[in-house]
């Protein structure tokens, strides 16, 4: 049948099973919005308050559901407003398709009104991008975009469509998408044999899990693997939930704000089995001292990650789920009680602690975990609250912790929370934000109230940029340059003005009843939690130090007394 370009875009979205898109209209993309209007009973469009919110919502939808998230924006500033969200998805390997419209072909390159070379802008932060200037190529490009976004190591893809293409007419034929197969052709028998030998011979193995284990849906195989080789398990920020955070073999997060049990254990192990992690600087600390007693076995779908940051002893390239299936079949059931007991002693000796007398970030996270029984989807912004959420909420399942790991995007959480809730309507979804982060994209609370999306927004309000101030306190001799937020902003009144129910909590005993009431109401709710600005995230590894040099508050107090 003959359709115009905008109708072809909508039909291609339907082919891919897209049920929701997030976006903001404008002149160049009006034809697409007109086509969406005619299909509003098939594809839900969520109008966000800002295009960045749309990108983060698509990202959160993708992380929570495992499907491709879709966002739309018009040309010029509409397209550039997507950039931070696209970069966030790129750094964390999240499948998002961003569709933008541009000026007509005849106006390209002439500094036309609201013209921008968005494919040039986003080339370094997309897995691939396209500009479509011929309507006959449009359908194939949209289909390729979805395939590229999902296959192998996922990532965002941008499709820019000129306005005349959205109006031009050509033949459209429906195509059923082919299943995207897991990457197995790169799994070599010799690599598997070496891996099996290393695992069976190891006396002190440690498993380090990243976001790739979640992407490949390898949680069941990972659990079997850890039990079979009797190895402790640590994770990165992106890997949370891949392995049950309440399991006795779990030791907590690794790296700058990881537990001492994980940091010390990895520093002592003889084999570090890394699954779907890229050895970020926040994980490794001083790379020359990282896991210095261990042989590194890296399992990853992306060959470019091997030896990029840390030199490996051996590697297996391919889908983590498929590789773990093979390793589970070939490795020997082993009892390493002496090693796991040693790590358990570290867990007992160096537990995560915090001030129990006052309302604090860790207390809020623990109370949320208790009330939700660990079954909520938690989204976060970036900073102290993010680290406390990673430390004190025991994530039991994958796709329940959504956060900006690689880019560290302040303002990410609320949009992602909305996207996650739209994608997982039966799940309780809570966003944790600091007051600094919340200010950046709090306008998306309007999006939640417009559509009555029942999310809970918790603000850790310490009237400072907490993590930056923590660094200033520890490493800049308490010179608090531009990190104090002492002003008259009232988040409760702001939330109420945007149509949400809002509460302020100042004492520990006030918190639980408010959380339960927020859950019961099942509407957009904000909880403004007033906490002390002096609270810090511990343990911590100083910049440039080895992870074995992690210190906590007691270590710091002892050091200061000695000085």
- Annotated catalytic residues are 51, 113-114, 163, 467
End-to-end CA distance of the chain: 80
Beta strand pairing call for 2-4 and 20-24: unpaired
The helix (run of H) or strand (run of E) holding residue 69 is strand 69-73
Q: Measuring CA to CA, which residue among 249, 425, 202, 478 is closest to residue 343?
A: 249
* 387, 240, 248, 287 alpha-carbon torsion, rounded to 10°: -70
Q: Report how far residue 516's alpha carbon sits from residue 532's, in angstroms, rounded to the nearest whole number.
A: 24
Q: Report how far residue 125's alpha carbon sits from residue 87's, in angstroms, rounded to the nearest whole number.
A: 5
- Cα R_g (the chain), whole angstroms: 24
Sheet hosting strand 69-73, strand order edge to edge: 44-47, 20-24, 69-73, 96-102, 157-162, 128-132
CA angle 556, 558, 559 (to 5 degrees): 65
Q: Report how far residue 426's alpha carbon sits from residue 101's, in angstroms, rounded to the nearest whole number.
A: 34
Transcribe 190-259 into DSSP letters: HHHHHHHHHHHH-SSEEEEE-HHHHHTT-HHHHHHHHHHHT--EEE-STTTTSS-TTSTTEEEE-STT--
For tokens 């190891």, the residue is 202
Q: Ramachandran region of residue 522, left (φ > 0), alpha (ψ -120 to 50) or beta?
A: left
Q: Give yes or no for a contact between 394 and 341, defined as CB atoms under 8 angstroms apart.
A: no
State the alpha helices, DSSP H only, in 424-541: 435-441, 444-450, 466-475, 491-497, 508-521
For tokens 């399992």, the residue is 299
Q: Give yes or no for a contact between 340 and 249, defined as CB atoms under 8 angstroms apart.
A: yes
CA angle 377, 381, 385 (to 5 degrees): 90
What are φ and ψ of residue 377, in 5° steps? Answer: -90, 125
Q: Give yes or no for a contact between 239 and 210, defined as CB atoms under 8 angstroms apart.
A: yes
For tokens 């990650």, the residue is 305
């Amino acid at each position: 049948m003959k359709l115009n370009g905008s109708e072809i875009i909508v039909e291609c979205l339907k082919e891919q099973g897209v049920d929701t898109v997030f976006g903001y209209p404008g002149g160049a993309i009006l034809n697409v919005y007109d086509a969406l209007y005619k299909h509003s009973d098939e594809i839900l469009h969520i109008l966000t308050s800002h295009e960045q919110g749309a990108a983060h919502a698509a990202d959160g939808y993708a992380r929570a559901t495992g499907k491709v998230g879709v966002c739309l924006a018009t040309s010029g500033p509409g397209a550039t407003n997507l950039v931070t969200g696209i970069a966030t998805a790129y750094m964390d390997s999240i499948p998002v398709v961003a569709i933008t419209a541009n000026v007509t072909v005849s106006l390209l390159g002439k500094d036309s009104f609201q013209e921008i070379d968005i494919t040039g802008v986003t080339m370094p932060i997309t897995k691939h991008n396209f500009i479509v200037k011929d309507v006959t190529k449009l359908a194939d490009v949209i289909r390729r975009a979805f395939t590229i976004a999902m296959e192998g190591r996922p990532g965002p893809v941008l499709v820019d469509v000129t306005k005349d293409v959205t109006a031009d007419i050509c033949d459209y034929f429906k195509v059923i998408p082919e299943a995207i197969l897991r990457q197995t052709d790169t799994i070599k028998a010799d690599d598997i044999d070496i891996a099996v030998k290393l695992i069976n011979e190891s006396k002190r193995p440690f498993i380090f899990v990243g976001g790739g284990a979640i992407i490949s849906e390898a949680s069941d195989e990972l659990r079997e693997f850890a039990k079979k080789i009797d190895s402790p398990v640590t994770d990165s920020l992106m890997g949370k939930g891949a392995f049950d955070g309440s399991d006795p073999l779990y030791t907590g997060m690794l790296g700058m704000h990881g537990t001492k049990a994980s940091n010390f254990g990895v520093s002592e192990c003889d084999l570090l089995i890394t699954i779907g992690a890229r050895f970020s600087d926040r994980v490794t600390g001083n790379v020359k001292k990282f896991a210095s007693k261990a042989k590194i076995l890296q399992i990853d779908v992306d060959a470019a990650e091997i030896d990029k940051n840390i030199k490996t002893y051996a590697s297996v390239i391919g889908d983590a789920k498929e590789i773990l299936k093979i390793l589970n079949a070939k490795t020997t059931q082993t009892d390493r009680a002496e090693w796991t007991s040693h790590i358990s002693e570290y867990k007992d000796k160096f537990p995560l602690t915090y001030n129990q007398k006052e309302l604090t970030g860790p207390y809020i996270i623990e109370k949320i975990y208790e009330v939700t029984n660990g079954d909520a989807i938690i989204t976060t912004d970036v900073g102290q609250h993010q680290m406390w959420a990673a430390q004190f909420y025991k994530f039991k399942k994958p796709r329940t912790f959504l956060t900006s790991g690689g880019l560290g995007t302040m303002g990410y959480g609320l949009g992602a929370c909305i996207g996650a809730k739209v994608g997982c309507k039966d799940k309780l979804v809570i966003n944790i934000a600091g007051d600094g982060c919340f200010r950046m994209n709090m306008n998306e609370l309007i999006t939640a109230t417009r559509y009555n999306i029942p999310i809970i927004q918790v603000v850790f309000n310490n009237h400072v940029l907490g993590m930056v101030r923590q660094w200033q306190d520890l490493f800049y001799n308490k010179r608090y340059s531009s990190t104090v937020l002492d002003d008259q902003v009232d988040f409760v009144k702001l939330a109420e003005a945007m149509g949400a129910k809002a509460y302020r909590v100042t004492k520990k005993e006030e918190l639980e009843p408010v959380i339960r009431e927020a859950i019961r109401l099942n509407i957009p709710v904000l909880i403004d939690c007033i906490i002390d600005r002096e609270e810090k995230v511990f343990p911590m590894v100083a910049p440039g130090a080895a992870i074995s040099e992690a210190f906590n508050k007691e270590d710091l107090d002892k050091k200061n007394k000695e000085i």
